[in-house]
Chain A
Amino acid sequence: MLTKRIIPCLDVRNRKVTKGVQFQNNIELGDPVEMATIYSREGADELVFYDITASAEGRPIDIEMVKDVARAIHIPFAVGGGISTLEDMRRVLLAGAEKISVNSLAIEKPSLISEGSQAFGSQCIVLGMDPVRNPDRKKFPSGYEITVKGFRQRTGIDTLEWAKRAESLGAGEIVVNSVDADGMQTGFNLELTALISTSVNIPVVASGGAGIPQHLVDVFIAGKADAAIIASMVHTGKYTIREIKNTMVAAKIPTREKW
């Protein structure tokens, strides 16, 4: 049986992993390569790295870091942040990443998704999205509006419409990062995750809000997610991936238990 993936997320700035709440008040947590090695050893099914200042600073992603991570771990990992051209994608993939994550820049230039999936295969192209609740159902039938630039800017785009469009453009996977839940550790946005996951035929990764192992159980059952991103709950040392997976196994969720 295909198992549900647990994906630690490493936000990187100046080659240090950081963590903030709703993209603010970042604190430094450690070296990305060391942390990747530890999480891989502890049973992470995949990893994701976001170079969180690349896009804002208009510079390319830290490719040496990607190479070092690829040498250190032998499980899939995705890289995002500041990817704006096919050439950026090619460099990240050749450095050893399995997937590329695009977000804000794909809103400005949706052809990034289609050209990327044609050039490298749709399994390489992950669309990240940051929806925020918006009660104006006339403009936003899904109840959620897409934001960009680290939640700072609204786009006027309905979340479900964008998810379906991204799938038809060739995205291989969608990461749904709930702005309302991000960094709060009060649980994933189950309604939003389930809405997207049941509306597209590609895997959906839930993101934002994981605080305790039960939240993962909830997002795989009620949220119908195929994978879930965790951050603070493991970065702080409060829980291990093993503890999370034990809780999932007890809830009869298909889980990779040996590594």
Chain B
Amino acid sequence: MITIIDYKAGNLTSVCLAFDALGVQTIVTDDAKKIISAEKIVFPGVGAAGAAMVNLRKLNLIEPIKHQVAAGIPFLGICFGMQLLFDRSEENGGTECLGILEGEVKRFIPPSNDIKIPHMGWNAVKIVKKHPLLKDIENKSEFYFVHSYYPITKVKDTIYGETDYAGVNFTSVVGKNNVLATQFHPEKSGRIGLKLLDNFTRWDGKC
């Protein structure tokens, strides 16, 4: 059973349907008690960092999330969910985030006006380090991205995948112990994205 955290940031239907297609049960919840007893957690989301952190606080979800990360539960962050795991984001005039991963989140600055923001579409992920969730995924496979902000990782050792856009080579897959997070949407990335989610369903949280 996979527990998907609902903190009122975006649409969780696609994530649920992707796990359905893999034959894996999910529950969507904003209940701290259910998160504390979860076996596996997905932390998705679309939205603005400021409002998201307010919601997480209001729903009393910050401590349960940190508790589960420390307890070694397999934990997958997706897109905006990945960004919130870092120390802080430039968004909304600077927002303190969860501090589970070291680094910060910045907005793309287009180097020329033919570079569009958001970064929307399929882009390659260069796999820089092996990970159980990237098993059987070819290097430089394309995944579906939609975002205007990107993470800058402080600890090089936590970088598993990198992607080029708007003149930067940003971290598109980051991990630390039982946490792995992707800037792209595996649930919208076709067969290859489902492979990553399938790997997650089989993962024990160890690297």
* Contacts from A to B (Cβ < 8 Å): 1-5, 40, 45, 70-71, 74-76, 93-96, 98, 120-123, 172-173, 198, 201-203, 224, 226-227, 256, 258-259
A-B contact count (CB 8 A): 92
Complexed CA–CA distance, A122 and B146 (Å): 10
Tell me whether B177 is interfacial, beta carbon within 8 Å. no
Q: Number of contacting residues on B, CB 8 A?
A: 38
Given A45-B121, A95-B13, 5 more A-B residue pairs with CB atoms under 8 Å apart are: A45-B122, A74-B14, A74-B189, A94-B11, A173-B120
Interface core residue of A40, A75, A96, A224 (most chain B CB under 10 Å): A75
Q: A74-B190, A93-B11, A94-B11 are in contact. Are A256 and B122 (CB under 8 A)?
A: yes
Convert B15-29 into 0s and 1s, putting 1 for each residue whose CB lies closer than 8 angstroms to a CB of A.
001101100000000
Interface SS of chain A: loop
Chain B residues within 8 Å of A, Cβ to Cβ: 10-11, 13-14, 17-18, 20-21, 46-47, 110, 113-114, 116-124, 138, 141-142, 144-146, 164-165, 187-194
**CB-based contact B141/A258 at 8 Å:** yes
Q: For residue B191, which residue of chain A has the nearest CB?
A: A259
Pick from A2, A5, A71: contact of B119, CB below 8 A: A2
Q: In the bound complex, how far is the Cα of B21 from the Cα of A71, in angstroms?
A: 8
Asked if A226 meets B164 with Cβ closer than 8 Å, knowing A95-B13, A201-B110, the reply is no
Inter-subunit contact A123/B46 (CB<8 Å): yes
User: Is the pair A74, B194 in contact by a Cβ cutoff of 8 Å?
Assistant: yes
Contact B121 A74 (CB under 8 A): no
Name the residue among B17, B18, B145, B193 with the largest chain A CB count within 10 angstroms.
Answer: B17
Q: Which residue of B lies closest to A224 (CB)?
A: B114
Q: For the complex, give the distance between the alpha carbons of A5 and B117 in Å.
A: 16
Determine if B193 and A74 form an interchain contact, defined as CB atoms under 8 angstroms apart.
yes
Q: Is the CB of A258 within 8 A of B17?
A: no
The smallest C-beta distance from B87 to any residue of chain A, in angstroms, reads 23
> Taking A74-B190, A75-B188, A258-B141 as contacts, is the C-beta distance between A1 and B13 under 8 angstroms?
no
The CA-CA distance from A71 to B110 in the complex, in Å, is 36
Report the Cα distance A226→B123, complex, angstroms.
Answer: 13
| Smallest beta-carbon distance A7→chain B, Å | 10
**Nearest chain B CB to A258 CB, angstrom units:** 7
B residues within 8 A CB of A121? 10, 46-47
